[in-house]
Structure 1
Amino acid sequence: MSVLTRDEAQTRAELLDVHRYTIDLDLTRGDDTFDSRTLIRFAARVDGDTFVELKPAELRSVTLDGHPLDPEALDGNRLPLKDLTAGEHELRVDARMRYSRTGEGMHRFTDPTDGETYVYTQLFLDDVQRVFAAFDQPDLKAVFELSVKAPQDWTVLTNGITEQADGVWKAAPTPLISTYLVAVAAGPWHSVRTEHRGLPFGLHCRRSLAPYLDADADELLDITRACFDRYHEKFDEPYPFDSYDQAFVPEFNAGAMENPGLVTFRDEFVYRSAVTDTERQTRAMVIAHEMAHMWFGDLVTLKWWDDIWLNESFAEYMGYQTLTEATRFTDTWTDFGVTRKSWGYDADQRPSTHPVAPEAVDDTASALLNFDGISYAKGASALRQLVAWLGEKDFLAGINTHFARHKFANATLADFIDNLAAATDRDVHAWADAWLRTTGVDTLTPRIAPGEHGTCALTVDRAGSRPHRVAAGLYDRDLGDDGGQLVLRERLHLDLPQTDAHPIGKRPALLLLNDGDLSYAKVRFDPESFETVRKELSGLPEPLTRAVVWNALRDAVRDGELAPGAYLETARAHLPLETDLAIVQGVLAFASTYITDRYLTPEERPAALATLSDLCRDLIRRTEDGDNPGLRL
Structure 2
Amino acid sequence: MRNDNLTAEEARFRSDLLEVDRYDVDIDLTHAADPSMQAFPTSTTVTFRADTEETTEAETFIEYIHHSVDSVELNGRRLRVSDVVEGSRIRLPGLAPTNTLTVRGRSLYSRSGEGLHRFIDPEDGRTYLYTQYEPSDCRRVFPAFEQPDLKAVFRFSITAPEDWTVASNTEIVSTHEDPATPGVSKRVFAPTLRMSTYITTLLAGQYHTVSALHRPDNDRFEQTTMSLYCRASMAVHMESDAIFDLVSKGLDFFQELFDYPYPWGKYDQAFVPEYNLGAMENPGLVTFTEAYLFPGGSTLAQREGRANVIMHEMSHMWFGDLVTMRWWSDLWLKESFAEFMGALAAERACGFEESWVTFAHRRKGWAYTQDLYSTTHPVVADITDVEAAKQNFDGITYAKGAAVLKQLVAFVGFDRFVNAARTYFSRHEFGTAEFSDFLDVLEESCGRDLREWSRAWLETDGVTTLTYAPQPHVLEQRLPDSVSESLGRPHVLTIASFRLEGGVLRETAEQSIEIPSGPEGMSTPTDEVPPVEAGSGIVLVNRDDKTYALTSFGEDELRTALLHGHTLAAPIDRAVLGSALWSMVRSGALNPRDYTAHVEKGLGAEQSATLLDTMLLHAETALLVYMSPTARHEPLSAFATAVAEQLPLCEEESDRQSILARHALILARHDVRLQRFAQELVDFAEKNPEQPRWNGLSLSDELVWSARTALAAHGALTREDIESSLGSTPSQHAALGAARSRAAQPHAEDKRRAWSSIFDDDLSNDLLSASASGFRIGPSSLRTGLAEDYFARLEDVWQKHSIGMATRIINGLFPGPDEDVDAVAGAETWLAEHGDAPRALRRELTERLQDARRAASIRSTWE
**How far 1:425 sits from its partner (Å)?**
2.6
**Residues 6 and 363 in structure 1, CA contact (< 8 A), matched pair in contact too:** yes
Deviations 1:234-265 (A, max 9, x none): 10222110111001112212221111110111
Shift of 1:414: 1.5
Distance in 2 between residues matched to 1:574 and 1:279, nearest whole Å: 21
Give CA-to-partner distance per residue, 1:55-79, whole Å, 9 cap, x none.
2222222211212111222001111
Distance 1:629 1:251 in 2: 28
Name the amino acid aligned to 1:25.
I
Look up the match of 1:492.
511
Cα distance in structure 1, aligned partners of 2:359 and 2:524: 32
Matching of residue 110 in structure 1 with residue 116 in structure 2: no
Contact 2:21 2:152 in 1 (8 A): yes
Are the counterparts in 1 of residues 585 and 595 from structure 2 also a CA contact under 8 Å? yes
Change (3 A) 1:458 1:575: farther
Measured in 2, the distance between the counterparts of 1:335 and 1:191 equals 31
- Structure 2 distance, partners of 1:625, 1:15, is 65
Alpha-carbon deviations, 1:408-439, whole Å to 9, x = none? 11111211222211111333211111111111
The answer to whether 1:84 aligns with 2:95 is: yes
Deviations 1:217-249 (A, max 9, x none): 111111111112111121022211011100111
Q: 1:419 maps to which residue?
A: 441
SS at match of 2:341: helix
Shift in CA distance, 268/569, structure 1 to aligned 2, threshold 3 Å: closer
Asked if 1:267 is matched to 2:290, the reply is yes
Partner in structure 1 of residue 394 of structure 2: 372
Q: Secondary structure at the match of 1:242?
A: coil
Q: Which residue of 1 aligns with 2:12?
A: 10
Determine whether 1:45 maps to 2:73: no
Q: Distance in 2 between matches of 1:29 and 1:575?
A: 53
- Cα pair 2:609 2:655 within 8 Å, conserved: no
Please list, as runs of the form range in 1=range in 2, the aligned pairs for 1:155-304 lying within 5 A after superposition. Answer: 155-165=165-175, 166=177, 167-197=185-215, 198-213=223-238, 216-304=239-327
Given residue 78 of structure 1, which amino acid in structure 2 is its aligned partner? R
Q: Which amino acid aligns with 2:254?
A: Y
Aligned residues of 2:199 and 2:283 also touching (Cα < 8 A)? yes
**Is the contact between residue 609 and residue 656 of structure 2 (CA under 8 Å) also seen in structure 1?**
no
1:26 match? 28
For residues 625 and 160 of structure 1, do their structure 2 counterparts lie closer, same or farther at Cα, with a shift above 3 Å needed?
closer
Identify which range, 400-409 or 518-527, moves more after superposition.
518-527
CA contact (8 A) 1:144 1:174 kept: yes
Of the three residues 412, 428, 444, the one matched with 1:390 is 412
C-alpha distance in 1, partners of 2:657/2:457? Answer: 36
By how many angstroms is 1:355 displaced?
1.2
1:313–1:380 contact (8 Å) kept in structure 2: yes
Q: 1:137 to 1:569 in 2, by over 3 A?
A: same
| Separation of aligned partners in 2, 1:526 and 1:104 | 48
Farther off after superposition, 378-387 or 107-116: 107-116
Q: What residue in structure 2 maps to residue 560 of structure 1?
A: 588
Amino acid at match of 1:112: P
Question: Residue 439 of structure 1 aligns with which residue?
Answer: 461
Q: Supply the distance in 1 between the matched residues of 2:529 and 2:161 (Cα, whole angstroms).
A: 75
* Map 1:75-154 → 2, pairs under 5 A: 75-85=86-96, 87-154=97-164
Which stretch of structure 1 is more off in the superposition, 409-418 or 557-566? 557-566
Unaligned ranges ≥5, structure 2: 178-184, 216-222, 480-487, 516-520, 660-696, 698-863
Q: What is the letter of the counterpart of residue 35 of structure 1?
A: P
Describe the superposition over 1:142-189 as per-residue Cα deviations: whole angstroms up to 9, x where unpaired: 011111111110121100111342322111111110011110101122
Shift of 1:600: 2.9
Q: State, as a whole percentage, how many aligned pairs show the same letter.
A: 39
SS of equivalent residue, structure 1 residue 259:
coil
What are the equivalent positions in structure 2 for 1:592-631 lying under 5 Å apart?
Answer: 592-593=620-621, 595-624=622-651
Structure 2: which amino acid aligns with 1:407?
E
Q: Residue 498 of structure 1: CA displacement?
A: 6.3
CA distance in 1, matches of 2:655, 2:160: 52
Tell me the secondary structure at the aligned position of residue 265 of structure 1: strand
Partner of 1:58: 68
Partner of 1:409: 431
* 1:351 Cα deviation from its structure 2 partner: 1.6
**1-side partners of 2:203 and 2:475: how far apart?**
54
The whole-number CA distance in structure 2 between the counterparts of 1:8 and 1:628 is 51
Q: Secondary structure at the match of 1:504?
A: coil
Matched, 1:502 2:526: yes
Match of 1:309? 332
Partner residue of 1:454? Answer: none
Q: Does 1:461 align with 2:476?
A: yes
In 1, the alpha carbon distance for the partners of 2:295 and 2:629 equals: 39
Contact 2:497 2:530 (8 Å CA) reproduced: no
Cα distance, 1:598–1:55 mapped onto 2, change above 3 Å: closer
Q: Which has the higher contact order (CA 8 A, sep 6+)?
A: 1
Give the Cα separation in 1 of the matches to 2:364 and 2:269: 27
Give the counterpart letter for 1:589 in structure 2: L
Could you tell me how far apart the structure 2 residues matched to 1:10 and 1:111 are? 43
1:45 partner amino acid: D
Q: Which amino acid aligns with 1:486?
A: L
Matches of 2:120 and 2:539 in 1, distance apart? 57
Secondary structure, in 3 states, of the residue corresponding to 1:21? strand
Task: Tell whether 2:559 aligns with 1:551.
Answer: no
Q: What's the secondary structure of 1:554's corresponding residue?
A: helix
How far did 1:328 drift? 2.6
Question: Aligned Cα RMSD in Å?
Answer: 2.0
SS in 1 for 2:306: helix
**Structure 1 residue 500: Cα displacement:** 5.2
Paired letter, 2:265: D
Return the letter of the residue paired with 1:612.
Answer: F
Tell me what 1:452 maps to.
none
Query: Is the Cα contact below 8 Å between 1:623 and 1:631 reproduced in 2?
Result: no
What is the rounded CA distance, in whole Å, between the counterparts of 1:188 and 1:505 in structure 2?
62
Query: Is the 2:323–2:433 contact (alpha carbons within 8 Å) kept by the matching residues of 1?
Result: yes
1:580/1:631 contact within 8 Å kept: no
2:269 maps to amino acid: Q
> Which one is further off, 603-612 or 387-396?
603-612
Cα offset for 1:614? 2.7
Aligned residue pairs total 617
Shift of 1:191: 0.8
Is the 8 Å Cα contact of residues 509 and 529 (structure 2) preserved in structure 1? no
**CA distance, structure 1, for counterparts of residue 162 and residue 657 of structure 2:** 48
CA positional deviation for 1:477: 4.3
**Is the 8 Å Cα contact of residues 206 and 231 (structure 2) preserved in structure 1?**
yes
Aligned AA (1:16): L
Give the letter aligned to residue 13 of structure 2: T
Q: Counterparts of 2:524 and 2:273 in 1: how far apart (Å)?
A: 58
Aligned to 1:453: none
Deviates more, 1:597-606 or 1:318-327: 597-606
Q: With the length of structure 1 as denominator, give the TM-score of the two structures.
A: 0.93
